[in-house]
Amino acid sequence: MKKIRILHVAQAAGGVDRYIRMLLKHLDKEKFENILVCSQDFLEEDYRGLVDSFERIEMTRAIGGNDLKAIKEVRNLIKKYNPDIVYAHSSKAGALPVLPISV
């Protein structure tokens, strides 16, 4: 049986970080492959054994010039992993994959 591949995108740590770790702890590893794309606020060691792949990109809370780079990186990672589901865990993370690159 093919695993369902979920690409989680998260910018804000804190409560989002705790929620994602709790979610990943309880998802069936036989049914789901989890990839985390997150900001520099997340620690890779916190996700060992919870995710199949960990990708850190520069994302900031404030809207600014770095967003174009983050959009491109998230889109490239979506192409790389070809997920069945993209799960955005914060408002900024949710906006990045859908914003036009030429803003």
Task: Summarize pLDDT for 11-40 with one digit per residue, the tens.
Answer: 888 899 999 999 999 999 999 999 999 999
- pTM value is 0.84
Per-residue tokens: 26: 């309880």
Strand partners, 38: 10, 56
Place of tokens 């916190």: 46
pLDDT above 80 for 4? yes
3-state secondary structure of 33: strand
All structural domains of the chain, each given as residue ranges with its CATH number in brackets, are 4-95 (3.40.50.20)
Classify residue 83 as left (phi > 0), alpha (psi -120 to 50) or beta. beta
